[in-house]
Structure 1
Amino acid sequence: MKYMLIMRATEAARQDYDTADINQIIEKMGAYNEALFKAGVMLAGDGLADSMADNFVVDFAADPPIVTDGPYGETHELFSGFWMIQVASKEEAIEWASRCPLGPGSKLEVRRVTEMSDFGEAADNPILAQQELWRAESGQV
């Protein structure tokens, strides 16, 4: 089972981060990432830039879509990073998410990534089969 761990931080947590010892944060996150890698569960992960100049939102409410500076619809919780993990169960995903070294004002939203079985009768759709081939060719699990 694949899960995406979505890191969210309130504005207060972001302010705390700005005044924290960056080396200490890097060490804690590095140790967490190393544990994920050594356990063989980490597929991907990265932090996201806060720079408003580099981020944008594409809103598909109109044709053509509207592009605005972003990245956030609501700034009370900022999406600041993610991990993709592959584990055997929801319980294992909970265990790894609970070990993340985040502090007060931060949350992890944990979402299971869809699998072919989630598509029911449409699981034999050739487009889905092609996506599986692309994943295999690119080395994705």
Structure 2
Amino acid sequence: MQKYMLIMRGTDETNAAMMARIDEMMASTRQFIEEMVQAGVYVAAEGLDDPGQGAVVHFGAGAPVVTDGPYGETRELFGGYFTVEVASRQEAVEWAKRVPAVPGSKIEVRRVPGEDEVPQESGKFVKERESTGRI
């Protein structure tokens, strides 16, 4: 089994369309999560707050620069995710096709590599993780 993130991506317009029918969207999302649970593929799901409440930290040659939302230069916004554990990329895509979404939205399907696939920094990183249980 492999984990995949189904990443909800939208625009200001799709977010507004979703908010206009928020009760329906939430009911559809609860039903979708229940279907994933019953199928045994559900791992996690979370949505994000309004982008206007966030910030972006830009890294360049100098000190990081913080920009408060909303982000006028952004074409697509990351709105939340579902994580599923399935047998294949194609099965993850099939679940992504079922995500409740408004026209113009996108669902990006990305595999979550297992811990044994992530390059490890020798020594310090591994010891820190083992001693704290955190990365």
TM category (shorter chain) comes to 0.7 to 0.9
Equivalences for residues 1-141 of structure 1 within 5 A = 1-20=2-21, 22-52=22-52, 54-70=53-69, 72=71, 74-116=73-115, 118-119=117-118, 125=122, 127=125
Stretches of structure 1 that go unaligned for 5 or more consecutive residues are: none
Aligned mates of 2:27, 2:14 — CA distance in 1: 18
Contact kept in structure 2, 1:47 and 1:81, CA below 8 Å: yes
RMSD: 2.8
Write out per-residue CA displacement over residues 62-114 of structure 1, whole angstroms, 9 at most, x where no aligned residue. 44322221364743322111112211111111111111121211110111112
Matched residue type, 2:30? G
Aligned mates of 1:64, 1:75 — CA distance in 2: 22
Aligned mates of 2:65, 2:59 — CA distance in 1: 7
**1:56 CA drift (Å):** 0.7
Could you state the TM-score of these two structures normalised by the residue count of structure 1? 0.75
Return the structure number with greater helix share: 1
Identity fraction in percent? 41
Aligned mates of 1:110, 1:74 — CA distance in 2: 24
Stretches of structure 2 that go unaligned for 5 or more consecutive residues are: none
Partner of 2:31: helix, strand, or coil? helix
| Number of corresponding residues | 132
